[in-house]
Amino acid sequence: NPSVRDVLHQCDRRRLRSAALSLLPVISWLKIYRVKEWLFSDIVSGVSTGLVAVLQGLAYCLLASLPPWYGLFSAFFPVIIYFFLGTSRHISVGPFPVLCLMIGSVVTRIVPDEGPPMNITGFEGLTRDDQRVLVASSVSFLAGIMQLAMGVFQVGFVVMYLSDTLVSGFTTAAAIHILVSQLKFVLGLTVPGISGPLALIYTLEIIFNKITSTNVCDVVISLVIMVVVFIVKELNDRYRAKLPVPIPIEVIMVMIACGVSYGFDFKTKYGIDIVGMIPKGYEAPVAPNLEIFQETAVEAFPMAIVGFAVAFSVAKVYSVKHDYTIDGNQELIAFGVSNIFGSSFKSFAASTALSRSAVQESTGGKTQIAGLLSAIIVMVVTVAIGFLLEPLPKVVWIGTCVASVLLGLDLGLAAGLGIELISVVLRTQLSVSLL
């Protein structure tokens, strides 16, 4: 018969194994990884997703009011951490437009386009761009701490209280904000970043006042790209069963736009605003600024909630489709550590974009090996071939929605939550009264 010591030893080993599998979900699926069946699909998916991640990283950085190349950092560092800690095998981690817009609102409030920045210790001797990067990385670090804390204290159930109506209203409003924020690039206008209540209205007012200064070349490029992308995406949907992989029209149009912009010198001849110099390699890690923590604590919390809620919702869809389970609390820990680690290297808050995750899954991705390969593609661009993208032109329901449009995304989310809470209370009280 086994001794008490042997039994205790076996229990300790089982606990250690269970803890390792819980904290490092990568171990559980790596053990069952089918190299012959899955590896090729993961490679194809990783390369496709990586190319999209590069383009979205550059584009979404404009929403965050940061230099474009910092989007490449956000498409690399968080992905590496999520590979080890995440429970979803299919979502693509990285910049998410709504989060970028929320970060941009904070950035322009503390470091406005016009006028002096807020009096923050640590801003001395920094350029405006460096100040903005410090703000974005600090608020992302704080959002990561909040996510990690929620995961450790097992409050992943909080996402259950975000109804489909709330999320739909919020994302619809976010889409409107994103559309308006991109108008200045489509029209080639110089519009200062505005934050706070009614920012969207004030931005539209400035755009309409400057509409006569529109850069015609910018508008033509924008219209041509949007029409071509729309047509090809319709073809991808119609012939989905016959195509081995969707036509990567975004990548193709970027290559064409870069070549035409460089060949015809759009920047000099037509005054087109281009991405410009992309520095090679990564920058030294930076510590978060505690004063920025104090200034952005109220805004960091909705970032933490939105980033997790969107990622968890997308992850849940794919987990049901491919028959495996995901853990909400572990997802909070994964995104919390990803954002803490990534922001230390000057990336900004990460979540997942539905379009990028759809590419990763639809091109055959089986596991986060595809995500890891996409991060390697981003790293190659950052370290070696980013210069090829330098000529790229920069153009490339009711309660929650109205509140988000008029008050801004952070206050809009709070208003939406308040509306939902009141409706739940009223329904509950009404039910009790009827009983």
Count the neighbouring beta carbons within 10 Å of the beta carbon of residue 193.
Answer: 19
- For residue 283, pLDDT over 60 is answered with yes
Alpha-carbon distance of 123 to 111, in angstroms, equals 10
Least confident of 92-96, 124-128, 161-165: 161-165
Name, of 42-56, 188-202, 363-377, the range with top average pLDDT: 363-377
357: nearest Cα among 151, 43, 88? 88
Q: Give 76-127 as a DSSP string.
A: THHHHHHHHH---SS--EE--HHHHHHHHHHHHHHS-SSSPPP--TT-TT--
SS (H, E, C) 128-175: HHHHHHHHHHHHHHHHHHHHHHHHHCCCHHHHHHCCHHHHHHHHHHHH
CA-to-CA dists, residue 16 to 8, 11, 19, 28, 394, angstroms? 12, 9, 5, 14, 50
Q: Which residues contact 431 (CB under 8 A, 6 or more apart)?
A: none
Name, of 135-139, 193-197, 405-409, the range with top average pLDDT: 135-139
Count the neighbouring beta carbons within 10 Å of the beta carbon of residue 322.
Answer: 12
pLDDT band at 290 (very low <50, low <70, confident <90, very high): very high
Between residues 23 and 402, the one the model is more confident about: 23
CA-to-CA dists, residue 334 to 170, 243, 304, 308, angstroms? 24, 35, 12, 10
Alpha-carbon distance of 203 to 113, in angstroms, equals 13
pLDDT band at 342 (very low <50, low <70, confident <90, very high): very high
Domain boundaries, the chain: 35-434
Whole-prediction pTM value? 0.77
The amino acid present at 325, given as its one-letter code, is: T
Q: Which residues contact 307 (CB under 8 A, 6 or more apart)?
A: 96, 99, 143, 147, 335, 339, 349, 350, 351
- For residue 322, pLDDT over 60 is answered with yes
- Answer whether 151's CB lies under 8 Å from 329's CB: yes
- Answer whether 82's CB lies under 8 Å from 330's CB: no
Alpha-carbon distance of 326 to 310, in angstroms, equals 14
For residue 155, give both structure tokens: 């409050």
- Answer whether 42's CB lies under 8 Å from 370's CB: yes
Alpha-carbon distance of 131 to 113, in angstroms, equals 12
- How many residues appear in the chain? 435
